[in-house]
Copies of this chain bind each other. A is one copy, B any other.
Amino acid sequence: MRLALAAALLALPATTLAQEAAEPVTPASVVAAAPASAWKPIDPADLLVMDLAPDAAGEPRRVVIQLMPPPFSQGWVENIRKLAKAHWWDGTSVYRVVDNWVAQWGDVDETKALPEGVSERPESEYSVPLFPDLMAHLQKLGSEFAPPSGEADLDSLPNAYFQLRSDSYAPMALHHKGWPVAIGSRDNHTWPTHCYGAIGVARSVGSGGTGSELYAVIGHAPRQLDRNIGIAGRVIEGIEHLSVLQRGTGDAGVYMEAEERTPILSARLGTDMPDPPRFEYLDTESASFGEYVRLRANRHDSFYLHPAGGIDVCNVQIPIRRVPAE
C-alpha cells in the first residue's frame, strides 16, 4: 500500500505535494486536540458490562453498553438496572442475529421470571416533550446558525450549520449530551434515534417491552423504528463481538439450534464491578464537537475530492474513549 501511495504522490505536481505535507485538520486531529474540558465522564452507574462466552479461539468477548440518560427511556433503564442487579441475564444468550439489522439477546424461551418491580413500560415513553436543556442547546445553535446564500463556500458556514439539520425522518436532528436525538414538529416531542450500535427494547405487538430482551443495531440506521421501540442505550465498546455473529436462519433470524446461540456469562452495572472500565465522551455542546461535525460533513483531508457538504445524524460517531486507570 505504501508503494502505491508513494507512486501516486510522485505523480502529483509540486504544489499538491506541498499541500500533502501540510495535511489540513481532520475530524481525528480535532478530537486529538480537544481540551480536557471538552471531555465528559460516563458515570459507571450508566454502564452495563456484558461478558459473552469466549470465542472459538478462547478469546474473551466483552460488550460495554452505556445506558440512556434522562429524560429519555428511564422506565426501561431502571428495569435494566434491576435485571443486572438480579444477575438476570447470566446464563441467557444472544439468540437472534439478522444481517444489516440487529443482534438480540435475553431469554429465548421467555419462561424466566422477571425480578420484582420489572414490568412493561408504556409506549408513551418512546418520546418526551422538548425539555429545557435541549431547548437551550437548540437556541444556542440557532443563534450561531446561518443558512448558505447562493454559491456559498462550505468553509464559510458556521459549525452550527452542520450540527443542526433536518433529516429524512424528522424536521430536526442534532446531538445533545452525547446522544443523537430527533425533534418532531407537530407536538414538539423529541426522541433518541436508532443509529448503529443503538440498544433497543424488543417487544411484541401491543406491548412496550420490559428491557429483558434487548437488541443492538448492527447495520444501516433503521430509523423507522424511532418512536416505535424504546432505545435504552448504545454499545460503546465491543460491538464487533455482536456484529460478527453468524446470522440466524430461523423465523426472524432466530437461531434454529440452541448450539448456535452465544451464551451470556454475566451482565453487570459498572457500579457493581470492583474495577469498572472508565470512559469519557466528547461533549456534544463543546466547540471541539462542532468543529468535528463540520469536518466530518466537509472533509478536506487529501483523500477527499468532493466534501459532502452535509451529514446524517447517525453518521456522526460520537468520540468516546477509555480513561486510563489512575
Residues of A within 8 A of B (CB): 1, 3-5, 8-9, 11-12, 16, 20, 56, 99-100, 110, 123, 126, 151, 165, 167-169, 186, 195-197, 204-207, 219-224, 226-228, 239-240, 243-247, 296-297, 299, 302-306, 308-315
Is there an interface contact between B99 and A308, defined as CB atoms closer than 8 Å?
no
Q: Which residues of B contact A296 (CB under 8 A)?
A: 224
Evaluate whether A304 and B228 lie within 8 angstroms (CB atoms) in the complex, with A56-B56, A245-B244, A311-B168 already known.
yes
Evaluate whether A224 and B308 lie within 8 angstroms (CB atoms) in the complex, with A8-B204, A302-B205 already known.
yes
Is there an interface contact between A196 and B224, defined as CB atoms closer than 8 Å?
no
Q: Chain B's nearest CB lies how many Å from the CB of A208?
A: 10
Q: Which residues of B contact A239 (CB under 8 A)?
A: 99-100
In the complex the two chains form, what is the Cα distance from A151 to B184 in whole Å? 13
Q: Chain B's nearest CB lies how many Å from the CB of A181?
A: 15
In the complex the two chains form, what is the Cα distance from A280 to B226 in whole Å? 31
Is there an interface contact between A4 and B308, defined as CB atoms closer than 8 Å?
no
Is there an interface contact between A206 and B304, defined as CB atoms closer than 8 Å?
no
Q: Chain B's nearest CB lies how many Å from the CB of A197?
A: 8
In the complex the two chains form, what is the Cα distance from A247 to B226 in whole Å? 29
Is there an interface contact between A169 and B205, defined as CB atoms closer than 8 Å?
no
Evaluate whether A312 and B223 lie within 8 angstroms (CB atoms) in the complex, with A100-B239, A126-B305 already known.
yes
Is there an interface contact between B310 and A243, defined as CB atoms closer than 8 Å?
no
Q: Chain B's nearest CB lies how many Å from the CB of A167?
A: 6
Is there an interface contact between B1 and A186, defined as CB atoms closer than 8 Å?
no
Q: CB < 8 Å: which of B4, B204, B227, B309 contacts A169?
A: B309
In the complex the two chains form, what is the Cα distance from A293 to B100 in whole Å? 18
Is there an interface contact between B306 and A206, defined as CB atoms closer than 8 Å?
no
Across the two chains, which residue of chain B brings its CB closest to A127?
Answer: B306
Across the two chains, which residue of chain B brings its CB closest to A169?
Answer: B308
14 residue pairs A–B, Cβ–Cβ below 8 Å: A9-B205, A9-B206, A99-B243, A100-B239, A123-B305, A126-B305, A167-B168, A169-B308, A220-B221, A223-B315, A227-B305, A228-B299, A228-B306, A240-B247
Q: Chain B's nearest CB lies how many Å from the CB of A234?
A: 12
Q: CB < 8 Å: which of B5, B243, B306 contacts A126?
A: B306
Q: Which residues of B contact A16 (CB under 8 A)?
A: 206
Q: Which residues of B contact A206 (CB under 8 A)?
A: 8-9, 11-12, 16, 302
Known: A167-B168, A226-B306. 20 other contacts (CB 8 A): A8-B206, A8-B207, A9-B206, A56-B56, A100-B197, A165-B168, A168-B168, A168-B313, A169-B310, A195-B220, A196-B219, A206-B302, A219-B219, A219-B220, A220-B221, A226-B308, A227-B306, A228-B304, A244-B246, A244-B247
Is there an interface contact between A3 and B110, defined as CB atoms closer than 8 Å?
yes
Q: Chain B's nearest CB lies how many Å from the CB of A155?
A: 16
Q: Which residues of B contact A240 (CB under 8 A)?
A: 99, 246-247
